Amino acid sequence: MARLVYAIEVAPGHQFPGHPECPGRVEAIQQALQRLAVFLGCADGQVTQLGAPPAHLPEGLLEAVHTAEHVAELRATSARLSGPTAVRDPDDPDGPTYATPTSFDDALKAACTAVALVDALVASSSSSSSSSADGSAAGSGGRPQATSAFSICRPPGHHATAAEQMGFCLLNNAALAARHAQRAHGLQKVLILDWDVHHGNGTQDLFYDDPSVLLIDLHQADVWPGSGALDETGAGAGAGATINVPLPWYSGQAAFQRAFERVVAPAARRFAPDLIIVSAGYDAHFKDPLEKLQLQAGSYHWLAAAVRRLAEELCGGRLLLVLEGGYNQQALGQSVAETVLALLGKPSAHALLDPAQLPHPEPLEQVEAVIELVRRQHGL
């Protein structure tokens, strides 16, 4: 039976007037999940909510990803603020990267949650299932059993580098989860799949010379932050362990499906990860206000089902999703709900639109050209 352990954190104190990255994002997800029958009572034990995560990360983990100066500055900034303040890119038309008095604690809680979910996944795979008194599944030490996990927390993280906050991101949750899996649990190889509309420049920078982490990034070409080109493939020992798939504007379901089947899946099989982490952004939806890709709610069901099957094939089902972007709140809620249905092996509730119903036709010839270049470059 497919099981999901999830955590959800609104972080109400981390908000900036009129900003798209706001508490309303997670509130919209909560509302969408509450409408799912699988979340109403969870009597079949398929869905478990994580309890309160630890208040602190394991010793040395934060410093294994971020510089001490970066962490100290984040903490000091939150401590001295009396209200929301732009701390980077104040004139960005999409909104600045900002901080509030609670931002450091909120970012730390999001990171701790991702780490705790890794622990739950590892506990599930290393111990037999047993039923707790309330009917939910539990493993060793009372940890919830899971074959997949979803951290629905904010602020997001994939743009945060070792030393910098940017792109609405303060701490890199996916990177911290990956390093924790390696340091605490001996999972040697981690695959990070990033399907946010924007390139995960922070995650790429953190693992660019590291062969133990394979980053595959599907993103819109030629938009902020300007990184993620085809020829950015890693350096030194990590050469070839970064795979960027910059998709042309107006790419949608067909483009992502082809990229997954012809790049993501074969690269993952060759790498043979011990854990898959998804930087799960939902701003590639065609209704999202920031960029110009054309996924649909049902597209995220397809993607989540495909990556779940890949995790089952390659790493005992160990799969962690970490929320990144997504700024049309209705589309975000529907898309996350579709992801959850797929993780539980349940059918989609949103039929895919006919291509003619989308705002723009998909540029499939350009998509094919990009995919072939990636395949040749990485020997796929």
Report the pLDDT value the prediction gives residue 131, as an integer from 0 to 100.
Answer: 39
Report the pLDDT value the prediction gives residue 43, as an integer from 0 to 100.
Answer: 47
Please state, in angstroms and rounded to a whole number, the distance separating the CA atoms of residues 327 and 205: 25
249-258 pLDDT tens trace: 999 999 999 9
The residue extents of the domains of the chain are 4-378
339-357 pLDDT tens trace: 999 999 999 999 999 988 9
Query: Strand 213-220 relative to strand 190-194: parallel, antiparallel, unpaired?
Result: parallel
Whether residue 130 is predicted with pLDDT greater than 80 in this model: the reply is no
1-47 pLDDT tens trace: 558 999 999 999 999 999 999 999 999 999 999 988 666 545 466 88
Q: In percent, how much of the chain has pLDDT > 90? A: 86
Fold of the domain spanning 4-378: Arginase; Chain A (3.40.800)
Averaged confidence pLDDT in the chain: 93
- Average confidence (pLDDT) over 44-54: 84
Whether residue 315 is predicted with pLDDT greater than 60 in this model: the reply is yes
Residue predicted with more confidence, 118 or 53: 118
pLDDT band of residue 127 (cuts 50, 70, 90) is low
- Average confidence (pLDDT) over 199-216: 98
- Average confidence (pLDDT) over 50-76: 95
Task: Report the predicted TM-score, pTM, of the whole model to 2 decimal places.
Answer: 0.94
Residue whose token pair is 């000091």: 76
Residues 231/208, Cβ–Cβ less than 8 Å: no
Q: Name the residues annotated as catalytic.
A: 159
Q: Please name which of 228, 206, 202 lies closest in space to residue 217, comparing C-alpha atoms.
A: 228
- Average confidence (pLDDT) over 195-216: 98
Question: Please, which residues have CB within 8 angstroms of residue 295's CB and are 6 or more apart in sequence?
Answer: 252, 253, 256, 284, 285, 286, 335
